[in-house]
Structure 1
Amino acid sequence: MSGSPSSAGVSTALLTDRYELTMVAAALADGTAKRHCVFEVFARRLPEGRRYGVVAGTGRLLESIERFRFGEQELRTLADVVDRETLDWLADYRFSGDVDGYPEGELYFPGSPILTVSGAFADTVVLETLALSVLNYDSAVASAASRMVTAAAGRPIIEMGSRRTHEAAAVAAARATYLAGFAATSNLEAERRHGIPTAGTAAHAFVLLHDDELGAFKSQVATLGADTTLLVDTYDIRRGIELAIEAAGPGLGAVRIDSGDLGELARQARDQLDALGAKNTRIVLSGDLDEYAIASLRAEPVDSYGVGTSVVTGSGAPTAGLVYKLVEVDDKPVAKRSAAKESRGGRKSTLRRYKPTGTAIEEVVHPVASPPKMGPHDRVVPIPLMRGGEQVAGLSTLEESREHLRAALVSVPWEGLKLSRGEPAIATVFEDGNR
C-alpha cells in the first residue's frame, strides 16, 4: 500500500464523513462496490420565503473532485477507520466516473437535478459529503446575494463579511457573491485565488488611532488619494463630512456611513455634500444590511453598499438544503419512500420551457431516456461537467457564469423576483416517461 499522490494542490479526501468510507469498506467486502450507480443532488424545497435558488460552487467542486486522492498522510489517518483491503483501494482511488449538472450561475427550483454523479458505487458514494459541503454553502450565499443585487437595482455592492465567517468560507463566499453580481470583495485571498476585484480603505480604528478626525482623514488622503472613501461616523457624522471635505477637497471619492438611520443619514449627507460643492462625492452605506434593508433604501441618495454578516450566512438560509441521493443501480430506478423524505427514482434531466418573449414558465424534470417534446424556445438545462474523472473542456469561467446568472434572472417572471414570500418563480413538473 504505497498511497497514490494527490493531484496538484492539497488533497480534499478527508473533507468527508467517516460513514462514506465505512460504506465503501462494507461494499468492497460484500461485492457490491462495483455496481453502477447514479446519484443526484437536488433540493426538495427552497428555503422559506425564497422564489428561486442559484447554483454556485460547481467550479470549486470539480477542482476538489480532481484533488480527492488519498496520499500517505491521509491513509495513515484512516488506518484505524477501515480495514487493509479498503486502505489499498483508497490508495489507488481516483474518481473515474461522469458528472453532469446545471451550469454554474443557473437557477434551480424544487426537485431540479442540479448535479448527477455516475460510476461504480464506491467511486461515487465517497463524494457525497464533499459535493454537499461545497454546493450547499456556495448556493446559499449566491442565492442570498442575488436577491441583494436585485434589491440594489444597479447600485454596486461590496462583499465584506470575512470577519463574520470561517476563513475558508470567507473565500468561498466572496466567489459566490461575485458570481451573483456583487462588484467586489474585501477579501484579498479571493482576489489571488479567483481574480475577484477587491475594495476597502479604513476602519474606525484608524480614525481612533489619530488625535483628531481631521488628522486621520488627511493621513488617509495623503496615502490613498482624494478618490478614497472616508468613514465619517466615528463621532458626529455631520462634522465628519465637513472634515472629510476639508481634508480631501470637493473631489473626495466617497463617504461611508456604517451606523444609524441610514436612509435619513444618506439624505442629510447628500444635502451637506452638495452644499459643500462635493456634488460628485459618492455615499456608501454599510452596517448590518440585508436584501430587505437594501430594498428599503432604494429611493435614497445612495451610490453603493457594503454587506457582510447577512450574505456570508445566507441571509437567514445558511444552507441550500441540497441532498445527494442514490436514484439508480445497474440501470434500475431506486428511491427512498419515507413520507417525509421521499425521492424519485431513475436518472433524470431537465427541460426548461420559455415563452416566445424569453420568460421562463416551467421546469420539466423527466427520465433521461424519455425526454418530452421540445418547444422552439425551450432549453435542456444540464450539461456535461466531467467525463472519466476529467473536467470537460470549455466549461464556463467565473465571469461567464456571472453573466449566465444575469441573463437567467432576466427570464424570471417579475413576481418571482419579489422579496415577499410566495411560490417558486416557476413550477416544477415531474414527468414519468409514460406520457
Structure 2
Amino acid sequence: MSRFGSLDPDLIQSGGCTDIYFPRCEAVLEKAGVNPSVLMEVSVASLPLGFGIFAGLDSVLELLSGLPVTVTAMPEGSIFYEGEPVMTIAGRYRDFARYETALLGLICHASGIATAAAHVVSVACGRPVFSFGSRRQHPAIAPMIERSAWIGGVAGVSNTAAPAGIPLAGTMPHAFVLSFDTPESAWAAYAEYADPDVPRIMLCDTLSDEKAEALAAARIGCSAVRLDTPRSRRGDIRSIIGEVRWELDTHGYRDVRIFLSGGVTAADVAALRDVVDAFGVGGAIANAPVVDFSLDTVEKDGRKIAKRGRRSGAKQVWRLPGGRRVTLPIEEVPPAGPGDAAGAGAAPLLCVYIRDGECVCSVDLSESRRRACEEMKNYRGPALSQG
C-alpha cells in the first residue's frame, strides 16, 4: 500500500492486485499439471441504458502487454450492446488468470463513466456539458475519470490531473466569493486578475437571490452566470432560471449565458436544456454505475465450451450496412443483403491489439472520442439484430 490509500502501479502490473481465489487456484492447477489453452471473452449481460461506450482499453493493453497472450477488442470509444464480446484473450490460462480482477476493474469503471457521459451529452442536444465530478471519487483515479468523460463527449473537465490535451474548465467556489466583503468585490477581482483566457463566469447564488446576484455580476461584465444552488433550496429550479433569464434580458444582458451545476442529473439536463446554456455535471458522470463486464471461457484446447448462460466458441461482431449489427461464430460470414454477396459491406468490430504478447495496435484518445461521438450520433436505440 502506498500513500493516500493508493496501490503501487507495479503491484497491479505484476498481478498482485487480484481476488484471492485466483492465486489459490493457480497453485492447485500448477500442482495438478493443468494449464489449458483457452479463449476467454469479455461481455455484459445487462445494460440499463441499452448501450455502452467501451473505454479503458489503453490501460488493458498496458496491463497485458508482454504476457504470452493474444488480445482482440472493439476499438475504444465503440458503442456496444448486451451479449456482444468487446474483448477476447487467448493463451494458457495460468499465464493470465490472476489479471482478471484488474482487467475487469479497468474497463468496468472507465466504460461506466464514458457511457454516463455519452448519455448526458446526448440528452443535452448540443448544450455543452462539463465534467465536474472528480472530487466525488478517489484522487488517484482522477485522470481515468476525466479521460473517460472526455471519450464520452464532454466539452471540458475540471481536474488539473486530466490527460494532456483535454480542455480544463471551471469557475469559482463559494469560498472564493466569501473571501471578499461582498460578492461584487469577488467578481470584480476575478474579472481583473484571472488570466485573460479564463471565461468570466460568475457564481451567483452565494448570499442573496439568484436574479439579483446575476444582474450585479452582469453589470461587472461577466460572460455567464453560474447557478449552483443546493438542491434543498431550489424549489422550482426552472422557475428560478426563468426569472434570471428574464431579468438579464430586460436589463440588456441578452448575451450573458446561464451555466447550471450542483447535483445535475441526466434528467435535469433533458428537462432544462431549453433554458440553460451549459451544464456542469458531477456525480451523474463520475459516480456512474460500472458496466458489469465478466470474463468467461468460451473455448478450451480448441474445443467450444462455456458455462451455463454463455455461448461457446470464438465470435465476431459485425456492423452491417444500414447500421444493423450481428454477433456470429468466428467461422461464419454475415448474411447477404438484397442483391449482395454474403458479407458484402459488413465490417468486423473485433480487431487484434496484442499478438503473442506484443502490442500491434495502439489506442489514440482523440480517435476514441471521435468514434464515441460519431457512434452516438447514429444511435437510435438498442441493436436491431443480435446473433
TM-score (norm 1): 0.79
CA 1:408/1:25 → structure 2, altered by over 3 Å: closer, same or farther? same
In structure 2, the gaps of 5 or more residues are 1-8, 336-341
Which residue pairs with 1:367 in the alignment? 329
1:214 corresponds to 2:195: no
Match of 1:201 among 171, 186, 190: 171
| 1:378 maps to 2:346 | yes
Q: 1:425 Cα shift?
A: 4.0
SS in 2 for 1:126: helix
**Cα distance change, pair 327–281 in 1 and its aligned pair in 2 (3 A):** same
What is the distance in 1 between the residues matched to 2:178 and 2:11? 44
Report the Cα distance in structure 2 between the residues aligned to 1:103 and 1:298, rounded to whole angstroms.
Answer: 31
Select the residue among 305, 309, 313 that pairs with 1:334: 305
Map residues 11-26 of structure 1 onto 2, 5 A cutoff.
Answer: 11-12=11-12, 13-26=15-28
Whole-angstrom CA distance in 2 between matches of 1:408 and 1:307: 22
1:41-88 per-residue CA deviation (whole Å, 9 max, x = no partner) reads 0011222xx12111111112212334xxxxxxxxxxxxxxxxxxxxxx
Root-mean-square deviation over aligned CA pairs: 1.8
Please tell me the residue identity of whatever aligns with 2:360: V
Q: Write the mapping of 1:283-362 to structure 2, written as runs, cut at 5 A.
A: 283-300=258-275, 302-314=276-288, 318-337=289-308, 342-355=309-322, 360-361=323-324
**Residue 386 of structure 2: SS of its match in structure 1?**
strand
Q: Whole-Å Cα distance in 2 between the matches of residues 331 and 239 of structure 1?
A: 72
Q: What is residue 107 of structure 2 aligned with on the other side?
A: 135
1:45 corresponds to which letter in structure 2? S
Q: 1:328 to 1:194 in 2, by over 3 A?
A: farther
- Secondary structure of the 2:27 match is helix
Question: In structure 2, how many angstroms separate the alpha carbons of the residues matched to 1:18 and 1:195?
Answer: 38
2:4 alignment counterpart:
none
Among residues 411, 419, 426, which one is paired with 2:378 in the alignment?
411
Is the 1:162–1:170 Cα contact (8 Å) retained in structure 2? Answer: yes
Q: Distance in 2 between matches of 1:117 and 1:227?
A: 47
The reply on whether 1:150 has 2:150 as its aligned counterpart is no
* 1:276 equivalent in structure 2: 251
Identity percentage of aligned residues: 32
Aligned residues: 363
Aligned-residue offset at 1:371: 3.1
What is the letter of the counterpart of residue 17 of structure 1? D
Name structure 1 gaps, 5 residues minimum: 1-8, 67-93, 417-423, 430-435
1:229–1:40: structure 2 CA closer, same or farther, 3 Å change rule?
Answer: same
Question: Which of residues 25, 29, 32 is equivalent to 2:34?
Answer: 32
CA distance change for structure 1 residues 292 and 319 in 2, over 3 Å: closer, same or farther?
same
Task: Give the whole-Å Cα distance in 1 for the aligned partners of 2:305 and 2:127.
Answer: 48
Structure 1 contact 151–291 (Cα < 8 Å) conserved: yes
Shift of 1:103: 0.8
Counterpart residue type for residue 83 of structure 2: G
3-state SS of paired residue (1:171): helix
User: In the alignment, which residue of structure 2 is the partner of 1:42?
Assistant: 43
Cα deviation for residue 278 of structure 1 reads 2.8
Corresponding residue number in structure 2 for 1:426: 384
SS of residue paired to 2:225: strand
Offset from partner CA, 1:100-143 (integer Å, 9 cap, x none): 01111111111101010111111231221111101111111111
After TM superposition, the structure 1 stretch with the greater mean CA deviation from structure 2, 130-139 or 167-176, is: 167-176
Q: CA deviation at 1:194?
A: 4.5
2:139 aligned with 1:167, yes or no? yes
Aligned-partner Cα distance in 1 for 2:45–2:104: 14
Amino acid aligned to 1:368: I
- In structure 2, relative to structure 1, the CA distance for the partners of 1:25 and 1:304 (3 Å cut) is same
C-alpha displacement of 1:375: 4.3
What is the rounded CA distance, in whole Å, between the counterparts of 2:343 and 2:243 in structure 1?
54
1:266 to 241, 246, 256: 241
Check the 8 A contact 1:37/1:124 in 2, yes or no.
Answer: no
- Number of the residue aligned with 1:419: none
Aligned AA (1:162): S
Within 2, Cα distance between the matches of 1:267 and 1:313? 29
Supply the distance in 1 between the matched residues of 2:266 and 2:383 (Cα, whole angstroms): 18
Q: What amino acid does structure 2 have at the position aligned with 1:53? A: G
Contact in 2 for aligned 1:288/1:308 (Cα 8 Å): yes
CA contact under 8 A between 1:175 and 1:194: conserved in structure 2? no
CA shift, 1:14, in A, is 2.2
Shift of the 284–382 alpha-carbon distance from structure 1 to 2, 3 Å rule, reads same
Corresponding residue of 1:90: none
Distance 1:27 1:195 in 2: 46
CA distance in 1 between counterparts of 2:278 and 2:358 reads 41
